[in-house]
Amino acid sequence: MSSDERDSSCGPRDPEYDEAECAAVMAEVWTLLDGECTPETRDKLRHHLEACPGCLRHYGVEERIKQLIARKCGGERAPERLRQRLLLEIRRTTIIRR
């Protein structure tokens, strides 16, 4: 495999994509995993992942990490008093930053 086909951050990739595009996709991968991206972004990311084996492999690792976190941490809730204090602090921070 030539150095043009490899990106050290995501392995073999389609020569159609450059390192910057792969890095941009990897920066957005969590929004795809969390279902928080726009339909246009979702389609763009999926198209890239289908064509770029290195990014697809990296996406798979991120997906497994997300599943592991959900399995190990899912279902636990903070005590109600702690939740209320955190919500209050978030509101205060939001107000201060506006």
Q: What is the pLDDT of residue 1?
A: 39
Domain containing 78 equals: 3-97
Please report, in tens digits, the pLDDT of each residue of the chain (98 residues total): 344 443 445 555 556 677 888 999 999 998 999 999 999 999 999 999 999 998 999 999 999 998 998 888 877 778 999 999 999 988 887 665 54
| Predicted TM-score of the model (pTM) | 0.57
Q: Which of 7, 93, 2 is nearest to 58 (CA)?
A: 7
Count of structural domains, the chain: 1
Spatial separation of the C-alpha atoms in residues 25 and 65, rounded to whole Å: 17
Encoding tokens for residue 82? 């702690």
Contact 13, 54 (CB under 8 A): yes
Please give the Cα distance from 55 to 60 (Å, whole number).
8
pLDDT of residue 45: 93
